[in-house]
Amino acid sequence: MKNISKILIAFISILAVSCNADDVDNRPILESVSAPEMTLPTTGKEYVLTEEAANNEADVFTWTAAEYSNDVVVTYSLMMDVKDGDFTNAQTLATTNDVTQAAVTVKSLNQAAIELGAVPGTAKLFDVKLKCSVSGGVPMETEETITISVTTYSGLVAYAFTDWYLVGDATVAGWDPNKGNQPLFRSGTNPKLYKYTGYFKVGAFKVISSLGSWIPMYGMGASGTLAYRGTDADADPATFNIATAGYYTFTMNTQTLTYTLVSYDASAATNYSVIGFIGSSRTGTEAGWGDDTDMIQSTFDPHIWTLTISLFDGKGKFRANNAWDVNWGGDTAFSGYTANGASGGDIPVAKSKYKVYFNDLDGSYLMLPNQQ
């Protein structure tokens, strides 16, 4: 009886495979018939953008529908590149599904132009074209582009904060004031309060605010106080000293002019192989929560991660190993750390290009906007 059952199961399996093979052979072949064509605006359109109108529509871009050999849902991407560019590094102005038009805001057009090298206040020419794709099909692009002129405004995000960086042979940069210096993480609720937990070598350090310059500077004062150097004529303050290599937490308050430097036990800390930034701010839509942009792990301290990325208005957070098991967020834009602006929430993000720093030891984050 068992043998008969085995033979019957084998026969059914062969029949199923044969049916699947027939389905594949008989599946309709999807072919592109005609690419979409831009209809509005037309070549020569000029846009003079202003910050006051940032949230207004710059224009509504329209195009003809792409045609395929079968009825399919077509995804359209409206792309912009410099005049005569090859669209390798094009900016995406909008994405739609089966919709042949897209409203582009002044802010989005301005940021895309700046990303492509526009100088605020000066007109620059850009090419615009469409790319469309369907599931199971080869992406199709318009053969011709339209050329538009865009005069941008600065597009800078308001950022009224002072940042401080470590310098010294105990730190990643050594005594070079402009060599990838590690910034301190600023509190999200008190802009005068800074903290950094991380690895220090045997040696010394100070903190500077302007990369490439030795002023302004803070060094060690007497009895847990900060010593300030504001001009070249001021005395050089004493260093903060590290007698034993290891992990420490350094905090400073530029209002009370106090600091602390204490040992930190990192022996039980997890060493992650991947940490990424995720959220709607990555794409300007909720689709941005689907995957991560991986960050770069420091070779000096494996708990420090960096990323330079152009982001949209939206929200974001950090997570490990491309999964939600371990993730970090915050309540405050630009910066925060545990109990001072960081939490499990989503970090609010304004559209700009950022240099992002993240510390997986305590969830500290610092997002510096207006990067070139």
The model's confidence at residue 142, banded by pLDDT at 50, 70 and 90, is confident
Let me know if 72 is exposed, middle or buried by CB neighbors in 10 A (0-12, 13-18, 19+): middle
State the pTM of this model: 0.74
Tens of pLDDT, residue by residue over 279-326, are: 999 988 888 999 999 999 999 999 999 999 999 899 999 999 999 999
Q: What is the pLDDT of residue 136?
A: 63
Closest CA to 281 of 307, 312, 310: 312
Average pLDDT over residues 177-204: 98
Where does 202-242 have alpha helices with state H?
none
Q: Mention every residue, 6+ apart, whose C-beta is less than 8 A from residue 272.
A: 302, 320, 321, 326, 360
Q: Are 216 and 233 in contact (CB under 8 A)?
A: no
**What is the reported pLDDT for 71?**
81
Higher local confidence (pLDDT), 18 or 211: 211
Bridge pairing between strands 140-141 and 146-151: unpaired
Contact (CB, 8 A) for 36 and 66? yes
Determine contact, residues 170/205, Cβ cutoff 8 Å: yes
Note the pLDDT of residue 196.
Answer: 98
Q: Tokens 């849902």 correspond to what residue?
A: 73
Do residues 208 and 165 touch, judged by C-beta distance below 8 A? yes
What is the reported pLDDT for 83?
97
